[in-house]
Amino acid sequence: MSTEIADKNRDEFDIEILNTVGKPFIDKPEDIKMATRDCDVFYGDKQAIFGVDLDIGKNEIIAMIGPSGCGKSTYLRALNRMNDTIEICRVSGSLTLDGQDIYSKKQDPVLLRARVGMVFQKPNPFPKSIYDNVAYGARLHGLVSNKADLDDLVEASLTKAGLFKEVKDNLQKPGTGLSGGQQQRLCIARTIAVDPEVILMDEPTSALDPIATAIIEELMDELRHNYTIAIVTHSMQQAARISQRTAYFHLGKLVEVNATNDVFTNPEHQLTENYITGRFG
């Protein structure tokens, strides 16, 4: 790469971010599911997220995009306190679910994670049978009292995840034996079996082939009617296809939030424009 190109790239990358532009907030309070104000995340001495203000609405899919290392996954993990498992990680600011502070002492992380489920980048089915994978959360939380109810729940969850037809004869086979796309749908089924209110998805299709990706995107669109979904994605096309709102992160800061259509056709911020037009990435 010549120095000229490198310099040009750096110029387009190094634009100062003062405030979040666009519409990070939702007007009607009853439409807000989760809200963060002035959210900072630190790893030891290093700050990874700087003062993010954002509302996540009920029954919407909000996509978070941005270049690698921009902090979008870190922000997502802060929403159900997955960062607690990392010893050196610290979160400050106000993060609420239905108006309640999720980082308050009274808030229980176990209860929170039952309400705010998560699907990970790499499909991670437990080394158990398909049935046990889906039943895992329900058994854990004591959601059902008898075997028949559990059977129903497993079937319903697998059906919602669009997997039941494919696996109904093999429920006792190990979940790790499925294909990558099936595994990811199994993980989604596992998550909805707990009946969460919000589902966080951390690049759920990045390890999958295009066909499996398409199936999962379709599934997300259906899930939207019952759940709030926040998805981190690497692919701008995916964000454009499935989300109602899009948030663009850059170097740990939230740059712009707008309706997805607006972000991709008429970005307000120069950085957003540079990113979606492929000047860096």
Partner 1 sequence: MPLNTILITLLLLLVFSYFIGKGRAIAVSTTKSNGRRNLHSLPSYYGYMVALWTVIPAIAILVIWTIFETQIVSSLTFSSLPAELQQEGQSSFGLLLNEVKNAVQSGQVDSFTDPVKIAAAERYESVRSISLLAKTVVVLGVALVCLYLGWRYIKPETQARNKVESIARWAMILCASIAILTTVGIVFSVIFESVLFFKSVSITEFLFGTKWSPQTSIRADQAGSSGAFGAVPLFVGTLLISLIALIIAVPLGLMSAIYLSEYASSRFRSFAKPTLEILAGIPTVVYGFFAALTVAPFIRNLGESLGLTVASESALAAGLVMGIMIIPFVSSLSDDVINAVPQSLRDGSFGMGATKSETIKQVVIPAALPGIIGGVLLAASRAIGETMIVVMAAGLSANLTFNPLEAVTTVTVQIVTLLTGDQEFDSPKTLAAFALGLGLFLITLLLNVIALHVIRKYREQYD
Partner 2 sequence: MNKSTQIVEAGLQKRYAKEKRFRLYGLISILISLAFLVILLADIIGKGYPAFQQTYVKLDVTIDGEVLGLTAESPEDKLYSASYSKVIRNALREKFPGVTDRKQKRALSNLVSKSAAYELRDMVVENPNLIGTSGSYWFLAKDDVDVFMKGNIDRNLPESDRRIKDYQLEWIDTLVAENRLEKRFNTVLFTEADSREPEQAGIRGALMGSLYTMLITMCLAFPIGVAAATYLEEFAPQNNKWVDLIEININNLAAVPSIVFGLLGLAVYINFFGVPRSTPLVGGLVLTLMTLPTIIIASRAAIKAVPPSMREAALGLGASKVQTVFQHVLPMAMPGILTGTIIGMAQALGETAPLLMIGMIAFVSDIPQSIIDPSTVMPVQIYLWSDSPERAFTERTSAAIIVLLAFLITMNLVAIMLRKRFEKRW
2 by Cβ neighbours in 10 Å (0-12 / 13-18 / 19+) ranks as exposed
Q: Cα(176)–Cα(87) distance, rounded to whole angstroms?
A: 29
Which residues, at least 6 apart from 43, have a Cβ–Cβ distance to it below 8 Å?
A: 86, 88, 89
H-run or E-run covering 19? none
Binding status of residue 58 toward partner 2 by CB under 8 A: no
Which residues, at least 6 apart from 169, have a Cβ–Cβ distance to it below 8 Å?
A: none
Query: Collapsing DSSP states into helix, strand and coil, what is residue 91?
Result: strand
Phi–psi pair at 218, nearest 5 degrees: -60, -45
Q: Which of residues 69-128 bind partner 2 (CB under 8 A)?
A: 98, 108, 110-111, 114-115
Binding status of residue 142 toward partner 2 by CB under 8 A: yes
Q: Which stretch binds partner 1 (CB under 8 A): 36-44, 114-122, 210-218, 232-240?
A: 114-122
Site string for partner 2, 155-194 (x = CB under 8 A): ---------------------------------------x
Q: Which of residues 158-197 bind partner 1 (CB under 8 A)?
A: 187, 190-191, 194
The nearest distance, CB 137 to partner 1, in angstroms, is 4
Site string for partner 2, 196-215 (x = CB under 8 A): -x------------------
Query: Collapsing DSSP states into helix, strand and coil, what is residue 262?
Result: helix
Tokens of 160: 């919602």
Report the interface residues with partner 2, using CB under 8 A. 98, 108, 110-111, 114-115, 141-143, 194-195, 197
Report the interface residues with partner 1, using CB under 8 A. 80, 82, 85, 87, 110-114, 117-120, 122, 124-128, 136-137, 140-141, 187, 190-191, 194
